[in-house]
Amino acid sequence: MKTKTKKSFNSNTLLLIITIVLFIVLYAGGCIAYGAKGFTHFQTFLNILITNAGLICVACGMTCVMLTGGIDISVGALIAMDCMMLAVGMSKGIGAVPMVLLVLLVGIVFGVVQGFLVGYLDIQPFIVSMAGMFFCRGMTAVICTDQVSITEKINPMFYSWANAKVIVPFGGYTNNKGKYMAPYVRPGVIVALLVLVAIFIVLRYTKFGRSLYAVGGSAQSAAMMGLNVKLIKMKAYMLSSFLCSIGGICYCLNTMAGSVTQAAGLEMDAISSAVIGGTLLTGGVGNVIGSFFGVLINGTISSIVKTNGKLASSWPNILTAGLLFVFIVIQSLFAALRARQSSR
Amino acid sequence: MKTWNKIKSWPLFLPVLALLLVMAVNIIHDAATGVNPLSFFMISLRNTTTNGTILYGRIIDIINRGSEVAILAIGMTLVVSASAGTDISVGSVMSLCASFMCMMLAGYGVSSTTTLAVPLVIGLLCAMVMGLVCGAFNGTLVAHLSIQPMVATLILYSAARAIGLLLCNDLIVYVRNPSFAFIGAFLGPIPTPIIITAICIIVVSLVLKKTALGMYIQSVGINARASRIAGLNSKLLIFLAYLLCGLFASIAGIVASSRITSADSNNIGLYLEMDAILSVALGGNSLGGGKFNLAGSIVGAYTIQAITTTLYALGVSSIQAPVYKAIIVIIIVVIEAPPFKDFLRKQSAARAAKGVRA
Amino acid sequence: MEENVVLTARGISMTFPGVKALDNVDFTLRKGEIHALMGENGAGKSTLIKCLTGINDFETGEIHIDGIDGPVKNHSTRDAQNVGISTVYQEVNLCPNLSVAENLFIGREPLTKLHTIDRQSYNKRSQKIMDELGISVDVTQNLENYSLAIQQMVAIARAVDMECKVLILDEPTSSLDDEEVEKLFTLMRKLRDNGVGIIFVTHFLEQVYAVCDRITVLRNGSFVGEYPIADLPRVKLVAAMMGKDLDDLAEIKKEQKDFSKEPMEIAAKGLSHAGTVKPFDLDIHKGEVVGIGGLLGSGRSELARCIYGADKAQTGTLEVNGEQVKINQPIDAMNKGMGMLPDDRKAEGIIADLSVRENIILALQAKRGMFRQLSRAQQEEIADRYIDLVQIKTASKETLVKQLSGGNQQKVILARWLATDPDFLILDEPTRGIDIGTKSEIQKLIVKLAGEGKSVLFISSEIEEMLRTCNRMVIMRDGQKVGELDHELSQQSVMKAIAGGES
């Protein structure tokens, strides 16, 4: 018997390649256009990581949820709530460590509730997470309606975390005054990269990770093969909200403040990062490496817009949405192509 | 028991019950704070320096403020019915249309004006065209590219506000012109938004009554395949629902913008998609598509506004209100969820079985 | 329990609301045999299988399985797997986005010491399983990269590796080509020789005779008989499946008439739809009732859908009333005077949540266009007229159609098409799952319509009723039109043509 493999090109790998190429092109474009403004320095790249440390965590969680065929648009609001909790809690004199633990706990509880509604009650993930989004935004305002800053005086420990520099041993440059500028990242980046590696391993090498793919590939088949689909879905949302809370802490380390409008539209960045990185909206395909590049692309766009200085601040938003649009349409066309192929 | 079941099956049961609850809360609150408990229902005429003699009262205020939600609810009802999904971009589209209109009325880059750069009608038409364009964009993605409705509309949900800001050159554009402000003010003693909403409702009701659109949309929403065999163009109908939703979003945007005589891109229509979806759900329409009841959605919309107004009266600020609405949405969808219904049925069956045994 | 028997079901009965789906059915499966379960639509095959696999709860009867004391009652597919019953369906229940090996092992992956999954070990084991079964695949490749046949075999391999005693194959060959089917058969024979009992459900007679040892036939939810393959030649099998439903319906008068001189209503030349119907020619004259004979899956429905535009034809031309027409979607066909009652009433017929009135006027309204709405009075008049004409039993015309019985729902759809006053009506299984009285009403109606000069294309699983109503019959087999019968219409000749081959 001879093997009969269909010679269908693997559209998923192709999407990932497109994404990486797109990132390189964008970044190279930035270097060429704004080399004079220091875009070519290694630190510029690190700054993208620093700014987007929170987003990396959130995108990892979003990828897990999207693998099951769901979506979670509550993440931006949850981050706002996390930041506000941290800011208000610490200004009330609670220590940094207990507050961080509390935020993580709230994330898990919130995720369990959303996951229960989606997994066990079979409510559309969009409706559930939209309600979750409004709940968190409103809750942020319930905690405090003003902008609350975290200063050194309020919590020196948290302040020191935020300002700690982790020096990168290579890629420095000497500035025009002859001083060596060592490239650095913030602790948040380390956390985000650890999350990235952890989720990569979970998705690739654990039962739970593979079951996320199975549920997204075909929930019915997964159930037939004896997987507990409801529980798996619930865990996915729990993981998403938990990672989102870790992201919220990283985010707070950057902004050092809590405010109601913070992280508005971050859910969009997370979703578009995942989609650009090759995660299918229909579930079952994707990985966090792709999502990581998605975040980098989003970060590069913001960075270019910022370096330019003359472009309106809304451009990153529009470009992100535009990219999402393009990739959704590509996905939809691939899906149609595949359907035609399989129907022969 | 029988009459109770009859009342329960009345299509407007849920929104009216909610409305009564809200009124009760108001009355109790008024009584507790020492105000005349019936002040909620009182309508009076008042003289104002800016608008002359106008109707005044909390009910008038609710109906006036509820105009945008009611207008949005019309479009949302059609979208939910035809495609079993919701259009979450309506709030942002409102903002975009308002920005585009104000930009046209004031001229690009002008941040404040009292004279109109183009006739008002052109401005209004521009807003509506923008609404139609957004609706067509959403409709194409959903109907022709078969993308889940919420994902498709997520694009404009996040981009529309940003585009609006871009059109206004990152400014809040003020159009302090009486002919424009009129739309959000008063016609005689009656607030103009109420009249605009009434016109929208009447036109849509007439269209639904005089054409077969309503039946077509429901038919497609219930069973798209069977509808196709019976000769309906399912894709076109879904597209049309989104197109109309975009149009109504633009009208709501015009009203909202005229109220504050400006295009505040970040605040117009903020959280209103939630209110619109909530109106539809509260109006007894299933978010799973199919049969719709426009009257229910409208009553639902005013109920939502009544809830909002009541929340404000109870001292909840506008940015805190979403918490309560989110909880209401979850309660409604949980009650509607088939697994929950099954659970209840099993419970009552178990109870009945126990009763028999005892 | 009898020697060598691996599964017995005795006296299984089950009712769905209003329908007796299974009535005292017996079934016996022996070790190392391939046992065909045959029957037309609604015979109860899938209901029986669902009872065995725990998806349906049967009401009476017992199932015994070799090696387990006492009757077995499964409540889920997991239960069924635990007692050794595995099922492979037509649509493969695996995850296409995972590798072959993962599909074999998901939910029971071997773990390393670190509690991560041990890819190497299960890849190796998978490769061994597949090699042993003689399926040459790279198990690390994603399942979607392989043909449907391979996917089906992976599903079977999974079932076998979970140590099943009973393997149920529910129409596994429907979407496979001949070569792929042969591979599947090789695998099935191998498993049989290893002592697995296989239940094989298919609509293809050739395949039954190619691979099976024994046949059990069901009809209308009842057990007809169990036969060794050698004792049941094709014609007898077809007869057993279709039954000689000698329901003594009122004799329907049918005048024998030569239609060849009548003007042509429909002339199809070389129409085809990829994967379902091979190119066919078909002429239908005015006032003629043409039946399509053939088993389910023979392409009989697909042929009709192709003419109507429900599935767009990829090749060929269609003439209506001598005029060449282009039909892209149903509304085009409707505007040329066609109507179609589809076979799947729930999925493509009724609009469940709309009222009887709305369901009846829907097609007429669609034909008129959105802006020329029928007034409420007109709607009610039409609804009343057709409720009366086809005798729909409904509380009122505002009753939701989903509250009606199956037969009355079917009449509503029939009324929907009659209201458009079509010249050519396609009726795909209009009498399935409805009571005998209604059946004869519908048959009479067909003859009456033909008398009024309308042409009808009639598809049914029951030869009797087609003999009674049709002037001519087209015979389909395996997606191909294999013959036409006009003067010598008889049970014998039609069955012979349907069964095909040597009998």
- β-bridge mates for residue C225, sequence order: C217
**pLDDT value of position A330:** 87
C-alpha C201/C-alpha C182 separation (Å) is 16
Asked if the Cβ–Cβ distance from A221 to C107 is below 8 Å, we say no
CA distances from C26 to C11, C232, C241 (A): 5, 19, 16
- Select from A202, A208, A210, A232 the residue whose CB has the most chain C CBs within 10 Å, as the one to mutate to test that interface: A210
Is the separation of the CB atoms in C62 and C71 below 8 Å?
yes
Tell whether A229 lies on the interface with C, counting CB pairs under 8 A. no
**pLDDT value of position B358:** 54
Asked if the Cβ–Cβ distance from C354 to B218 is below 8 Å, we say yes
Does residue A100 lie within any of the structural domains?
Answer: yes
What strands, in cross-sheet order, belong to the sheet with B112-113? B112-113, B173-175, B262-263
Q: Are both C5-242 and C264-499 of the same fold?
A: yes
Who wins on pLDDT, A36 or B259?
B259
Of A202, A188, A237, A212, the C-alpha closest to A83 is A188
Asked if the Cβ–Cβ distance from B324 to A71 is below 8 Å, we say no
Task: Specify the DSSP class assigned to residue C252.
Answer: P
Minimal-distance CA residue of chain A relative to C94: A221
Does residue A33 lie within any of the structural domains?
Answer: no
pLDDT digits (tens, 9 = 90+) for C195-230: 889 999 887 777 889 899 999 999 888 899 999 998
Provide, as residue numbers in chain C, all residues whose Cβ is less than 8 Å from the Cβ of B215. 354, 358, 362, 365
DSSP states along C97-154: TSBHHHHHHTTS--B-TTSSB-HHHHHHHHHHHHHHTT----TTSBGGGB-HHHHHHH
Domain C5-242: CATH superfamily, name plus number: P-loop containing nucleotide triphosphate hydrolases (3.40.50.300)
Lowest mean pLDDT of B35-44, C49-58, C306-315, C451-460, name the range.
B35-44
Asked if the Cβ–Cβ distance from B233 to C331 is below 8 Å, we say yes
Tell me the nearest-neighbour CA distance from B339 into chain A, angstroms.
5
**Residue A199: domain span:** 47-171+180-263
Asked if the Cβ–Cβ distance from B231 to C371 is below 8 Å, we say no
pTM reported for the whole predicted model:
0.84
Tell me the nearest-neighbour CA distance from A270 into chain C, angstroms.
23
Asked if the Cβ–Cβ distance from C351 to B213 is below 8 Å, we say no
Tell whether A14 lies on the interface with C, counting CB pairs under 8 A. no
Provide, as residue numbers in chain A, all residues whose Cβ is less than 8 Å from the Cβ of B166. 312, 314-315, 318
C-alpha B300/C-alpha B11 separation (Å) is 11
**pLDDT value of position A4:** 38
Cα C102 from chain centre: 32
Of A61, A16, A3, the C-alpha closest to A327 is A16
C-alpha B277/C-alpha B355 separation (Å) is 41
Average pLDDT over residues C173-189: 80
Closest CB to C150 among A4, A8, A284: A4
Tell whether A330 lies on the interface with B, counting CB pairs under 8 A. no
Which residues neighbour C429 within 8 Å (Cβ) at sequence distance 6 or greater?
A: C41, C301, C343, C459, C460, C461
Minimal-distance CA residue of chain C relative to B226: C348
**pLDDT value of position C19:** 67
- What's the token pair of residue B294? 């426009």
Provide, as residue numbers in chain C, all residues whose Cβ is less than 8 Å from the Cβ of A225. 93-95, 106-107, 158
**pLDDT value of position C163:** 76
Is the ipTM reported for this complex over the cut 0.90? no
Does residue A253 lie within any of the structural domains?
Answer: yes
Of A211, A240, A247, the C-alpha closest to A65 is A240
**What is the pairing mode between strands C34-38 and C264-273?**
unpaired
Lowest mean pLDDT of A49-58, C30-39, C464-473, name the range.
C464-473
**pLDDT value of position A194:** 96
Tell whether A127 lies on the interface with B, counting CB pairs under 8 A. yes
Task: Specify the DSSP class assigned to residue C472.
Answer: E
CATH topology of domain C264-499: Rossmann fold (3.40.50)
Tell me the nearest-neighbour CA distance from C4 into chain B, angstroms.
42
**Residue C249 pLDDT greater than 50, yes or no:** no
Divide the 344 residues of chain A into consecutive groups of 10 and give the mean pLDDT of each group.
41 79 92 84 90 95 95 94 95 93 97 95 89 94 92 91 88 79 90 96 92 92 86 96 96 93 88 89 89 93 86 85 90 80 54
- β-bridge mates for residue C5, sequence order: C30
Average pLDDT over residues B2-20: 78
Asked if the Cβ–Cβ distance from C147 to A6 is below 8 Å, we say yes
Interfacial A residues in 272-291 facing C (CB < 8 Å): 284-285
pLDDT digits (tens, 9 = 90+) for B335-346: 878 888 888 888
Tell me the nearest-neighbour CA distance from A239 into chain B, angstroms.
21
Q: Where do the domains of chain C lie? A: 5-242, 264-499
Closest CB to B154 among A268, A312, A315: A268
Average pLDDT over residues C15-31: 83
Asked if the Cβ–Cβ distance from A226 to C107 is below 8 Å, we say yes
Question: How many other C-beta atoms are found inside a 10 Å radius of the C-beta of residue A88?
Answer: 18
Tell me the nearest-neighbour CA distance from C336 into chain B, angstroms.
12
Is the separation of the CB atoms in C457 and C285 below 8 Å?
no
Task: Specify the DSSP class assigned to residue C196.
Answer: -
CA distances from C71 to A81, C22, C65 (A): 57, 19, 8
Q: With helix as H, strand as E and coil as C, how does chain A read?
A: CCCCECCCCCHHHHHHHHHHHHHHHHHHHHHHHHHHHCCCCHHHHHHHHHHCHHHHHHHHHHHHHHHCCCCCCCHHHHHHHHHHHHHHHHHCCCCHHHHHHHHHHHHHHHHHHHHHHHHCCCCCHHHHHHHHHHHHHHHHHHHCCCCEECCCCCCHHHHHHHHCCEECCCCCEECCCCCEECCEECHHHHHHHHHHHHHHHHHHHCHHHHHHHHHHHCHHHHHHCCCCHHHHHHHHHHHHHHHHHHHHHHHHHHHCEECCCCCCCHHHHHHHHHHHCCCCCCCCCCCHHHHHHHHHHHHHHHHHHHHHCCCCCCHHHHHHHHHHHHHHHHHHHHHHHHHHHHHC
Closest CB to B225 among C340, C347, C363: C347
Minimal-distance CA residue of chain B relative to A336: B145
Interfacial B residues in 248-277 facing A (CB < 8 Å): 271, 274, 277
**pLDDT value of position A197:** 96
Closest CB to A141 among B152, B169, B317: B317
Asked if the Cβ–Cβ distance from A4 to C147 is below 8 Å, we say yes
Lowest mean pLDDT of C33-37, C46-50, C381-385, name the range.
C46-50
Subunits with 3+ C-beta pairs closer than 8 A to C: A, B
- Select from C86, C95, C272 the residue whose CB has the most chain A CBs within 10 Å, as the one to mutate to test that interface: C95
What strands, in cross-sheet order, belong to the sheet with C315-320? C277-285, C264-273, C315-320, C323-325
Tell whether C113 lies on the interface with A, counting CB pairs under 8 A. no
- Structurally, chain A folds into a number of domains equal to 1
C-alpha A262/C-alpha A146 separation (Å) is 12
Q: Residue C359: helix, strand or coil by DSSP?
A: helix
Is the separation of the CB atoms in B245 and B75 below 8 Å?
yes
- Select from C370, C414, C417 the residue whose CB has the most chain B CBs within 10 Å, as the one to mutate to test that interface: C370
Asked if the Cβ–Cβ distance from C331 to B223 is below 8 Å, we say no
pLDDT digits (tens, 9 = 90+) for B201-242: 999 999 999 999 999 999 999 999 999 999 999 999 999 999
- Select from B323, B328, B344 the residue whose CB has the most chain A CBs within 10 Å, as the one to mutate to test that interface: B323
Is the separation of the CB atoms in B85 and B244 below 8 Å?
no
**Residue C250 pLDDT greater than 50, yes or no:** no
Does residue A189 lie within any of the structural domains?
Answer: yes
Interfacial A residues in 233-292 facing B (CB < 8 Å): 260, 265, 268, 271, 281
CA distances from C265 to C260, C313, C344 (A): 11, 19, 26
Is the separation of the CB atoms in B285 and B77 below 8 Å?
yes
- What's the token pair of residue C10? 């005795």
What is the share, in percent, of chain C residues with pLDDT greater than 90?
A: 28
Closest CB to B222 among C354, C366, C367: C354
Provide, as residue numbers in chain B, all residues whose Cβ is less than 8 Å from the Cβ of C365. 212, 215
**pLDDT value of position B243:** 97
What is the pLDDT confidence band of residue C17, given thresholds at 50, 70 and 90? low
**Residue C503 pLDDT greater than 60, yes or no:** no
Q: What is the mean pLDDT of chain C?
A: 85
Minimal-distance CA residue of chain C relative to A283: C97
Is the separation of the CB atoms in B281 and B77 below 8 Å?
no
Of A108, A196, A103, the C-alpha closest to A158 is A103
**Residue C450 pLDDT greater than 50, yes or no:** yes
C-alpha B75/C-alpha B92 separation (Å) is 14
Who wins on pLDDT, C140 or C235?
C140
Asked if the Cβ–Cβ distance from C147 to A205 is below 8 Å, we say no
Interfacial B residues in 53-92 facing A (CB < 8 Å): 85-86, 88
What does chain B come to in residues? 358
Interfacial C residues in 117-156 facing A (CB < 8 Å): 117, 119, 134-138, 141, 145-150
Does residue A230 lie within any of the structural domains?
Answer: yes
Asked if the Cβ–Cβ distance from B223 to C352 is below 8 Å, we say yes
A-to-B residue pairs, Cβ atoms closer than 8 angstroms? 130
Is the separation of the CB atoms in A227 and A241 below 8 Å?
no
Subunits with 3+ C-beta pairs closer than 8 A to A: B, C
Minimal-distance CA residue of chain A relative to C78: A226
Asked if the Cβ–Cβ distance from A281 to B148 is below 8 Å, we say yes
Closest CB to C107 among A8, A227, A285: A227
Closest CB to C362 among B211, B219, B225: B219
Does residue A13 lie within any of the structural domains?
Answer: no
